Chain A
């Protein structure tokens, strides 16, 4: 007799509660970074060229949420959701390789006028994507190793 207290996405009540908190944390980080960015822009300080400032802020907010999802074990159990993290790592790796080619073969700088350019911001984005993927794989392995632990 198997009870089903899981939602459609395979999450139980504790996980749904924790996910609500994660969204709050992501939103707080996003708001704090947007405020800091607005303050810096008001002072005439540009830390990333073009749209990259906003994209990196979005990644920071999403990254906090994704890391918390992984560390607290509140990922949906569907294979489709899990493959998203692997795809993220593959995309990050491609970005990292492309960026490295630009740095080592064409000697392009990571910053221009003290602000991150496309290459610098792209590499930071790649690092975030790869880190999230590695954390996901590590957590999965840790869970497998500690499956029978009481």
Chain B
């Protein structure tokens, strides 16, 4: 599983730090770090919360692009 650069970009675009996003979705900062690094595959529930917090869709953040398949 590669790095989730789209999530990182979406978070940066919203002007949120990893800690702030973690607090918004109710997880620890280390979990946000692990998701962005591609070290952890989050549950759908957490994906939905992240999408809500970043104002984007599941497809936009987590669906693999052509180059990631």
Contacts and interface: CB of A to CB of B under 8 A. Distances in A.
B57 to A, nearest CB: 18
A3 B24 contact: yes
What secondary structure prevails in chain A residues at the interface with B? loop
B31 A12 contact: yes
Nearest to B43: A13
Contacts of B53: 3
Contacts of B24: 1-3
Interface in B33-69: 34, 40, 42-43, 45-46, 49, 53
Nearest to A6: B26
Interface residues of B, number: 20
Contact of B17 (A2, A4, A73, A150): A150
A13 B42 contact: yes
Contacts of A12: 26-28, 31, 46
A98 B31 CA distance: 42
Interface in A65-87: 73
Contacts of B30: 14-15, 73
Interface residues of A, number: 14
Contacts of A14: 27-28, 30-31, 34, 40, 42
A105 interface: no
A15 B22 CA distance: 13
B4 interface: no
A73 B46 contact: no
Nearest to B49: A3
Interface of A: 1-6, 12-15, 73, 147-148, 150
18 contacts: A2-B26, A3-B53, A4-B26, A5-B45, A5-B46, A6-B27, A12-B26, A13-B46, A14-B27, A14-B30, A14-B31, A14-B34, A15-B28, A15-B30, A147-B29, A148-B17, A150-B17, A150-B18
* Closest CB pairs A-B (n = 8): A3-B26, A12-B27, A5-B26, A14-B31, A4-B26, A73-B30, A14-B40, A12-B31
